[in-house]
Structure 1
Amino acid sequence: MTDAVLETRGLSKTFLGFTAVDGVDLSVQRGHIHALIGPNGAGKTTLFNLLTRFLEPSAGEIRFDGTTVTALPPRQVARRGMVRSFQISAVFAGLSVLDNVRVALQRKLGLSLHFWRSVRVLDQINEQALAILDQVGLAELANEAAGALPYGRKRALELATTLAMDPVLMLLDEPTQGMGYEDVDRVTSLIKKISAGRTVLMVEHNMKVVASIADTLSVLQRGRLLATGSYQEVSANEEVIRAYLGGGRRGGTAA
């Protein structure tokens, strides 16, 4: 038996006659790291936007954690536990590292609108925020301004704020994009660490990252799902090889 936390059936999106996502049937198993790969323009980010309800599907169904969410607004999908990071680093640059995580915790705990309360009320979440920062290796930088962090550390802070929302499913959009070698290794290790007991769906171009941490890969080309399987299975698939390399090649890889 399978335990899919996220499923789509016939999911499609058309823009003025152009089909960006074309009948995608996707199944993400609970507790897995599932990587979504494909050439530029394959429809990966559009699919993410559909899943998180930033875009309205033209057709198809989205089921999350046993419930159909196809018609729900983005905020309700997020409250159910589907939490997303974006390609572009998105931290509150003027706040401290600790306060960035506190903001996310306030939202999760329902304290974000209680502006009339004493700041001492919010001090109760400091211990929890520091524990999350410790998970991503940022506890010693808790009082630093988030905007002053190196790029790789900012991405780690984004992972921390995502964790603060206590997600059922983490959607990571290009988490290692624009990073140097050391930062890629650090963030890859962090994703592996924080995924314990959680489910991750990630868009990622770096095939070394995908090969090292993904349990399952799904390959998109021109909006259609070409293949799903392990890295070994997908990298040996002739359709995938043609999509990446422009022609068949026995024994090739998807990288």
Structure 2
Amino acid sequence: MSDVILQTRDLTKEFRGFTAVSNVNLSVQRGSIHALIGPNGAGKTTCFNLLTKFLTPTKGIIHFNGTDITSEEPAQIARRGVIRSFQISAVFPHLSLMENVRIALQRKLGTSFHFWSSERSLDKLNGRAVALLEEVGLAHLADEITLNLPYGQKRALEIATTLAMEPELMLLDEPTQGMGHEDVERVTQLIKKVSAGRTILMVEHNMKVISTIADRITVLQRGAILAEGDYQTVSQNPQVMEAYMGTTDGQLQGAH
């Protein structure tokens, strides 16, 4: 059996009587791409917020690398290597791609807020910044102003800034949302590429993306786990088809 990097037990979040996440037992294998899917309002984003402690669970336990992190603050969890894309991927539109990645890298130096330091003091980060841009296919645009990028390349830059934090577990919240077909294809392949040697937990609506790259899928409905398994298992589950399509004879492939 593979090594489990993240595990939850009876993870639950209630809001004034409404249960958004209900007794979720999640198990993410190290080195896998694990997708969290479900209809709108299924509790996917709430689950992400609980894992990164942007919300406090009503009950339940979260283990990361075998350590109970349930009571830790978001910053402590990030330092452990659980990095959620939006936390540090709010890219600065008027800075270059290189400057955006260097800012993300600064956090490892412990000089994040030394804005008065000479810019030359950051030159030692240039090599790593270029390598990260190379990894996401943007090295040729290192000096381009981020504002000028098309949407798909901005998302690729966000992935580069996430990688700069050296995540052990990357949480990607709908990485292909709002993209055209070409960008979806490009970012899907990029996620597959950067997953080598890393673990990714992602929320994603696009079933083609899920079928292409996810090793394991957890389906949520009304805050609870409805089904779990590989794409073939999940896509043929009548309950999952009904949750997505409102019918048991529909095809999950058509759901987004």
Q: Which category describes the TM-score, using the shorter chain as reference length?
A: over 0.9
Is the CA contact 2:245–2:252 (under 8 Å) kept in the aligned structure 1? no
| SS in structure 1 of the partner of residue 219 of structure 2 | strand
Is the CA contact 1:152–1:183 (under 8 Å) kept in the aligned structure 2? yes
Is the CA contact 1:91–1:147 (under 8 Å) kept in the aligned structure 2? no
Equivalent residue, structure 1, for 2:12? 12
**Letter of the structure 2 residue corresponding to residue 202 of structure 1:** M
Q: Percent identity?
A: 66
Equivalent residue, structure 1, for 2:127? 127
Alignment gaps of 5+ in structure 1: none
Give runs of aligned pairs for residues 66-81 of structure 1, distance below 5 A: 66-81=66-81
Instruction: Please give the alpha-carbon distance, in whole angstroms, between the structure 1 residues aligned to 2:189 and 2:248.
Output: 33
Q: CA deviation at 1:109?
A: 2.6
Instruction: Please give the alpha-carbon distance, in whole angstroms, between the structure 2 residues aligned to 1:156 and 1:115.
Output: 26
| SS in structure 2 of the partner of residue 125 of structure 1 | helix
Q: CA deviation at 1:138?
A: 0.8
Instruction: Give deviations 1:77-133, integer Å, cap 9, x for gaps.
Output: 00100001139x721112111011000000123221344543222100101000000
Instruction: Please give the alpha-carbon distance, in whole angstroms, between the structure 1 residues aligned to 2:135 and 2:119.
Output: 25
**Letter of the structure 2 residue corresponding to residue 158 of structure 1:** E
Equivalent residue, structure 1, for 2:94? 94
Equivalent residue, structure 1, for 2:64? 64
Is the CA contact 1:38–1:221 (under 8 Å) kept in the aligned structure 2? yes
| SS in structure 1 of the partner of residue 196 of structure 2 | coil
Instruction: Please give the alpha-carbon distance, in whole angstroms, between the structure 2 residues aligned to 1:235 and 1:86.
Output: 29
Instruction: Give deviations 1:184-242, integer Å, cap 9, x for gaps.
Output: 01101100000001000000000000000000000000000011100000111121111
Equivalent residue, structure 1, for 2:252? 253
Q: CA RMSD in A?
A: 1.5
Q: Does 1:164 align with 2:201?
A: no
Instruction: Please give the alpha-carbon distance, in whole angstroms, between the structure 2 residues aligned to 1:117 and 1:145.
Output: 22
Give runs of aligned pairs for residues 1-255 of structure 1, distance below 5 A: 1-86=1-86, 90-249=90-249, 252-253=251-252, 255=255
**Letter of the structure 2 residue corresponding to residue 151 of structure 1:** Y
Instruction: Please give the alpha-carbon distance, in whole angstroms, between the structure 1 residues aligned to 2:20 and 2:146.
Output: 35
Instruction: Please give the alpha-carbon distance, in whole angstroms, between the structure 2 residues aligned to 1:141 and 1:116.
Output: 26
- The 10-residue stretch of structure 1 (206-215 or 101-110) with the greater mean CA deviation from structure 2: 101-110
Is the CA contact 1:5–1:29 (under 8 Å) kept in the aligned structure 2? yes
| SS in structure 1 of the partner of residue 86 of structure 2 | coil
**Letter of the structure 1 residue corresponding to residue 12 of structure 2:** S
Deviating 4+ runs (over 6 angstroms): none
| SS in structure 1 of the partner of residue 200 of structure 2 | strand
Alignment gaps of 5+ in structure 2: none
Instruction: Please give the alpha-carbon distance, in whole angstroms, between the structure 1 residues aligned to 2:92 and 2:10.
Output: 37
Instruction: Please give the alpha-carbon distance, in whole angstroms, between the structure 2 residues aligned to 1:116 and 1:150.
Output: 31
> Between Structure 1 and Structure 2, how many residues are aligned?
253
Instruction: Please give the alpha-carbon distance, in whole angstroms, between the structure 1 residues aligned to 2:186 and 2:2.
Output: 32
Is the CA contact 1:86–1:174 (under 8 Å) kept in the aligned structure 2? no
**Letter of the structure 2 residue corresponding to residue 253 of structure 1:** L
